[in-house]
Structure 1
Amino acid sequence: MRLFASLRPPAAALDHLHQALVGVEPVPLDDGPPPLRWVAPEQRHVTLAFYGEVPDGALDDLTDALAAVAAGTTPMRVQVTGAGVFSGATLWMGVRAVDDERALVRLMADAEAAGEGISRLEPRDRHRAHLTVARLSAREQRETAQRRRRSRSRRATRPAAVDLPAIAHALSVYRGPVWEARGLELVQSRLGAGRGGGPQHEVVASFPLGH
């Protein structure tokens, strides 16, 4: 099972964010597919730790470890705020704990540690909680790479269909409603099974914080 641990924002926070994203959605330059693939609102989440493919026989150990992490974590007030771009192709929104800036970082580290001896992936050093909202389409990524090659050779290039850094800059002032994170989830991701060929997420287990 391809698994990750996450925090899920409440519907009110996701709706508020959705309205902000609608305002910056780029218009396609031609009749082709949209240059950005938006993550469906119901799939938007804060990844605490990604475990990759986990054997079925190790699921109980992972759930026990995450239950202990959740029990030792106090519920926290959280807010979606700011934006940025990963690798020139992924648009993300920042997420912060309102009362203790390091609380989410500690929770990510603890969730990562819960997979030690279970996950085959190398631990990653996470310093910033985020929520992925969009990715450049495969077509736009290819054309972006072509534009870079042509610009180095000083050849004329077709204008970009979307300026992802500009969108991130416009969203950098975004401040969403504050919500209380009361639990974390262990989620299974089925690649290609979701809407538009994206991943489908199914909650395997939920763990209340502080219990």
Structure 2
Amino acid sequence: MPRLFTAIEIPAEIGERLALLRGGLPGARWIDPENYHLTLRFIGDIDDALARDVSQVLGGVRRPGFELHLDGLDAFGGRKPRAVIAAAPATAALVELQAEHERLMRRIGLAAEARKFTPHVTLARLRGVSSRQVADYLATRAGFRTLPFRAERFVLMSSRASVGGGPYVVEAAYPLGAGSTD
């Protein structure tokens, strides 16, 4: 039973910049750079028949490629921080692609995603790290921003059940730009 999600991959040169942010936060479990991605839609643990349906409907997505960048670091979890992330602006092209994935998953019978889409790349998972430690970490890295990069495709990825951060496997890739109306 695969655990699936859709994502935009992070180019190696952006991953190298993100990897320089590792360290300086005791208790953080840092994501390996080859596992950096921006999740579009978490699908979850599904059977093989539904996984085939997911792959098939994603093959019908026709959207243009677009530019993205990462702009700032943040944390999820408030007083009990659980992750450090690099945020991505919610551009129209990104939000529309994510919304199409949501519609398609609901059309084939999956429940609606409960969480609001917040575009980001997870850098570290946290356990037992104080909000003060996270605030200090973020303060010393204020102003982080990457150069723009082009999203030329999205992928269907699988992961094994683990305590965080991969390994992830690209199960299928779908080009952006082919057959788009732009």
Of 119-128 and 180-189, more deviation after overlay is shown by: 119-128
Picking from 156, 166, 170, the partner of 2:140 is 170
TM score, norm. by length of structure 1 = 0.74
**CA distance in structure 2 between the aligned counterparts of 1:130 and 1:14, rounded to whole angstroms:** 13
Any gaps of 5 or more consecutive residues in structure 2?
Answer: none
Higher Rg of the two aligned structures: 1
Alignment partner, residue 174 of structure 2: 207
The amino acid that maps onto 1:189 is: S
Residues 115-151 of structure 1: CA deviation (Å, up to 9, x unaligned): 11546443235343111101223xx25xx5xxxxxxx
Residues 175-208 of structure 1: CA deviation (Å, up to 9, x unaligned): 112111100000011112xxx8753211110000
Equivalent residues in 2 for 1:111-126 (5 A)?
111-118=101-108, 120-124=110-114, 126=116
CA RMSD of aligned residues (A): 2.3
Cα gap change, 1:125/1:80 in structure 2, threshold over 3 Å: closer, same or farther? same
Confirm or deny: 8 A CA contact 1:189 1:201 kept in the other structure: yes
Confirm or deny: 8 A CA contact 1:3 1:52 kept in the other structure: yes
Confirm or deny: 8 A CA contact 1:191 1:198 kept in the other structure: no
Confirm or deny: 8 A CA contact 1:79 1:176 kept in the other structure: yes
Aligned length: 174
Alignment partner, residue 157 of structure 1: none
Alignment partner, residue 82 of structure 2: 89
Cα gap change, 1:104/1:112 in structure 2, threshold over 3 Å: closer, same or farther? same
The amino acid that maps onto 1:26 is: G
Any gaps of 5 or more consecutive residues in structure 1?
Answer: 28-33, 145-159
After the TM superposition, list the runs of 4 or more consecutive aligned residues in structure 1 that deviate by more than 6 angstroms. Answer: none
The amino acid that maps onto 1:50 is: F
Alignment partner, residue 149 of structure 2: 179
Alignment partner, residue 103 of structure 1: 93
**CA distance in structure 2 between the aligned counterparts of 1:121 and 1:163, rounded to whole angstroms:** 36
Picking from 119, 125, 130, the partner of 1:135 is 125
Residues 32-91 of structure 1: CA deviation (Å, up to 9, x unaligned): xx411101111110000001112201222211221222x2x1100111111111112211
The amino acid that maps onto 1:2 is: R
Cα gap change, 1:106/1:169 in structure 2, threshold over 3 Å: closer, same or farther? farther
Identity rate, percent: 28
Equivalent residues in 2 for 1:12-51 (5 A)?
12-19=13-20, 21-22=21-22, 25-26=23-24, 34-51=26-43
Confirm or deny: 8 A CA contact 1:82 1:172 kept in the other structure: yes
The amino acid that maps onto 1:164 is: V
Confirm or deny: 8 A CA contact 1:105 1:126 kept in the other structure: no
**CA distance in structure 2 between the aligned counterparts of 1:115 and 1:16, rounded to whole angstroms:** 33
Q: Which has the higher helix share?
A: 1
